[in-house]
């Protein structure tokens, strides 16, 4: 029984191996390579021609011993199954070739679609960056267009005006300090800034509105925002950052800008030691100061 079982297993494995080899051979014929798509069809045509020639010559040598009817029956009876089988194989190979070409076409179309999508993304990013840098140029133009004159008719232009702005705000704040109880610090700040704003709204209104819209433009984009925010921060002087800070905490005009300043840490480089009072730092979320956040900055 064991010998019979072992022999049966051997025969089964041998048949399975031959079936697998036959299947691989069949795939080699039916599924052509990319560079030899029509080689299998050529071999089928050659086999059909050889079969016709072989049957013809066999019948030709036997024409003396049989009638033409028998010769034709033999020729058709032998040749028809062979040609039918070869036709079926040719049809099967043609279908496989068409499927292969269709698959390659789908792959190529997908690559083209992916390339087009990537091209559109790059075009949109280039358009965004072009608009962003034009806005930065416009903002720089707004800064350079600011000019101030003092009592002696001395004129200050451009970014240097923000040093003058902050000194004037500082003077208004400290002038009110002796007249108001210390626990009304925030009230002093609001009144001082309101007076300052009424005097300089004409110079600073456009500046703050445009800066707000640049940051909002970045927020509404789908691209990495930290890079563009860093570019904005790099253009802001210490005095500009201080005025942005007080505009956010002491004016109604800065209430919409304040969440964006906190979200993007726009005051990351602001010199916190130069604020009018350390208590003012607690009037905005610590996130606005970015990497400067520490125990030295009061939190809400």
Examine the domain organization and report whether 279 and 185 are in the same domain.
yes
Residue at 108 is within a domain: no
Instruction: Tell me if 217 sits within 8 A of 228, measured CB to CB.
Output: no
- Is there a single domain that holds both residue 86 and residue 137? no
Q: Would you list the DSSP string of 218-283?
A: HHTSSS-HHHHHHHHHHH--HHHHHHHHHHHHH-STTTTHHHHHHHTTTTTT--GGGSS-GGGGGG
Q: Is residue 297 part of a domain?
A: no
Check pLDDT > 50 for residue 16.
yes
Our count of domains for the chain comes to: 2
Same domain, 143 and 85: no
Rounded average pLDDT over 149-155 = 80
Distance between CA atoms of residues 244 and 236, nearest Å: 10
Q: Is there a single domain that holds both residue 156 and residue 265?
A: yes
* Phi, psi angle pair for 58, to nearest 5°: -60, -45
Mean pLDDT for 111-121 is: 82
Asked whether residue 85 falls in the same domain as residue 195, the answer is no
Domain-terminating residue out of 99, 118, 143: 99
Minimum mean pLDDT among 58-62, 149-153, 255-259: which range?
58-62
257 and 165 together in one domain: yes
CA dihedral 156, 258, 185, 297 (to 10 degrees): -100
pLDDT at 38 over 80: no
SS3 158: helix
Q: Which contiguous run of DSSP H or E holds residue 46?
A: helix 39-61
Pair 204, 248 in one domain:
yes
Res 102: pLDDT = 81
Residues 288 and 144 in one domain: yes
One domain, residues 82 and 186: no
Range of the domain at 76: 2-99
Please indicate, yes or no, if residue 14 is contained in any of the structural domains. Answer: yes
Last residue of some domain: 61, 81, 99?
99
Residues found in the chain: 300
**What pLDDT is stored for residue 113 in this prediction?**
81
Q: Is the pTM of this model over 0.85?
A: no
Whether 298 has a pLDDT exceeding 70, the answer reads: no
Q: What is the band of 14 on the pLDDT scale with cuts at 50, 70, 90? A: confident
pLDDT surpassing 70 at residue 124: yes
The larger pLDDT score, comparing residue 58 to residue 214, is at 214
Q: Are residues 145 and 233 in the same domain?
A: yes
How confident is the prediction for the chain on average, in pLDDT?
79
- Rounded Cα distance between 140 and 124, Å, is 24
Q: Are residues 260 and 201 in the same domain?
A: yes
pLDDT tens figures, 193-212: 999 999 999 999 999 999 99
Domain stop point among 82, 99, 116 = 99
């Amino acid at each position: 029984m064991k010998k019979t079982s072992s022999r049966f297993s051997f025969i089964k494995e041998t048949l399975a191996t031959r079936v697998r080899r036959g299947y691989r051979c069949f795939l080699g014929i039916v599924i052509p390579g990319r560079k030899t798509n029509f080689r299998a069809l050529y071999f089928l045509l050659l086999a059909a021609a050889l079969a016709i020639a072989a049957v013809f010559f066999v019948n030709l040598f036997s024409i003396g011993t049989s009638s033409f009817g028998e010769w034709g029956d033999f020729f058709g009876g032998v040749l028809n199954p062979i040609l039918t089988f070869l036709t079926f194989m040719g049809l099967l190979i043609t279908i496989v070739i068409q499927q292969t070409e269709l698959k390659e076409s789908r792959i190529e179309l997908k690559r083209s679609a992916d390339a087009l999508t990537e091209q559109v993304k790059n075009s949109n990013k280039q358009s965004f960056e072009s608009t962003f840098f034009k806005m930065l140029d416009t903002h720089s133009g707004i800064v350079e267009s600011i000019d101030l004159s003092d009592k002696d008719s001395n004129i200050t232009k451009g970014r240097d005006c923000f040093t003058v702005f902050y000194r004037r705000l500082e003077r208004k704040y400290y002038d009110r300090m002796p007249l108001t109880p210390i626990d009304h610090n925030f009230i002093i700040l609001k009144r001082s800034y309101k007076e300052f704003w009424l005097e300089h709204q004409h110079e600073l209104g456009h500046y703050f509105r445009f800066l707000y819209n640049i940051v909002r433009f970045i927020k509404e984009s789908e691209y990495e925002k930290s890079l563009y925010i860093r570019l904005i921060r790099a253009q802001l002087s210490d005095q500009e950052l201080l005025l942005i800070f007080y505009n956010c905490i002491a004016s109604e005009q800065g209430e919409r800008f304040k969440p964006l300043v906190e979200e993007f840490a726009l005051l990351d480089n602001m010199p916190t030691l130069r604020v009018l009072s350390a208590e003012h730092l607690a009037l905005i979320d610590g996130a606005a100061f970015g990497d400067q956040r520490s125990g030295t900055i009061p939190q809400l």
